[in-house]
Amino acid sequence: MSQSIAAFWEFTRGLATVCAEVGTIGCRLLYYGQNYLIYPSAFPPESRTEVPTPDMYGLHYEGVELKTEDGVLLRCYLLTQRKEVVHRFALQIPVNDEMSDDEFAATRPTVLMFHGNGGNLGHRIPLARVFYNEMRCNVFMLSYRGYGDSEGRPSESRLCIDAQTALDYILAHANLRGPPIILYGQSLGGAVAIHLASRNPSKIHALILENTFTSFPQVIPHATPIPSPFTILCHQKWDSASKLPLIPRETPILMLSGERDEVVPPQHMTELWEIASRRQGTTVDSRDGNGGAPVGSGEPNGEPNSEVGNARSRFVKFPDGYHNNTFMQMDYWHAVKEFVASLCS
């Protein structure tokens, strides 16, 4: 009998040891392997091997190779404006006949695009085309390291380096450094944009943010419920809630939120808007995506503020917008065009 008890306890100790070791290994895999989950650069399949180019959409572009401070090669796209853009919705701008294409480009704002955590920059060319053709903006499309044809491996600190490298390139470009610089970020790209603007407060003129989050750990329980108990192990923070107040209140921000977002709860955008409103001490034109009446503001009582400071910031909600199709919703591009036009005026 005593031998049976001893054997049982020996088995129990062995099982506990194995479980502890498996748990330790699992935690290490979650900690050190989480970048493969957070930055799925190979999804959809062939995203690392098949990268569309702007000329496939009838756009003139320049392939730009950037070398980061840590020696990683990024392969990006630059679309600079030309005097003549053949498009039925193109913004008509009076142009001096003696002005060159380069001189014209130097009069137009530049949109620096940051895409989400899946796919590659080529998948976002249709969005760039709207900025280029219909708003007559220069467009720089950044390819993060580890995405598309860019070298390296992504992480929070490394993507921040990539974003700074792209901005530095624009600021050194003869035709781009003078006009306003607008950051456009979707989902993860919104967090990249907020970080870059917080580090370069005098260089960024405006931000356009779509379906982004307050911080990455706070979105894990909703986006990936299974590993949510291990959120404490997440070292990719992307803490936009703490960085947003560092952006000057004079910097206009357009926030675009899909109310049916199944990945990032819309509450994240609402919280970011409230933070932005406190930062600005201003204003709201918070409307639904169908041109309806105001649906709320940064003020507790829901009433629009008086026009103090920057009154050009807006928070637009799209009732039928999901995480990946908000840009297809009615009035999405109308809101963006109005915002860009207000910057140019």
Q: Other CB atoms closer than 10 Å to residue 182's CB: what's the count? A: 27
Banded model confidence at residue 5, pLDDT cuts 50, 70, 90: low
Q: Where are the alpha helices (DSSP H) in the chain?
A: 2-38, 101-105, 125-129, 156-172, 188-199, 216-223, 240-243, 267-280, 332-344
Peptide bond preceding 180 in cis form (omega within 30 of 0):
no
In angstroms, the CA 135 to CA 108 distance is: 9
| Spatial CA neighbour of 78 closest among 211, 151, 146, 174 | 174
| The amino acid at 238 | W
Higher-scoring residue by pLDDT: 24, 152: 152
pLDDT at 195 over 90: yes
Share of the chain above pLDDT 70, in %: 78
Which tokens hold the place of 53? 């180019």
Q: Tell me the pLDDT tens digit for each residue of 200-233.
A: 999 999 999 999 999 999 987 765 554 555 556 5
Query: Contact at 8 Å (CB) between 314 and 277?
Result: no
Could you list the residue range(s) of the whole structural domain that residue 282 is in? 2-344
pLDDT in tens, 246-274: 999 999 999 999 999 999 999 999 999 99
Per-residue confidence band for 345, with pLDDT thresholds at 50, 70 and 90: confident
pLDDT at 75 over 60: yes
For residue 58, the 8-state DSSP code is: T
Domain count, the chain: 1
pTM: 0.84
CATH number, domain of 85, equals 3.40.50.1820
Confidence band for 16, pLDDT divided at 50, 70 and 90: very low
Task: State the alpha helices, DSSP H only, in 39-94.
Answer: none
How far, rounded to the nearest angstrom, does the alpha carbon of residue 59 sit from its chain's CA centroid?
A: 23
Q: pLDDT band at residue 10, thresholds of 50, 70 and 90? A: low
**CB-neighbour burial class of residue 218 (10 A; exposed 0-12, middle 13-18, buried 19+):** buried
Read off the pLDDT of residues 327-342 as tens digits, 9 standing for 90 and up.
999 999 999 999 999 9
Tokens, residue 313: 């910031």
Predicted local confidence at residue 336, as pLDDT? 98
Write down the H helix ranges in 206-331. 216-223, 240-243, 267-280
Summarize pLDDT for 287-326 with one digit per residue, the tens: 566 554 334 333 333 333 322 335 689 999 999 999 999 9
Residue with more model confidence, 153 or 305: 153
280 has pLDDT over 60 = no
The reported pLDDT for the residue numbered 300 is 32
pLDDT: which is higher, 129 or 36: 129
Structure tokens at 155: 């992480």
Q: Is the pLDDT of residue 282 over 80?
A: no
What is residue 335's predicted lDDT score, i.e. its pLDDT?
97
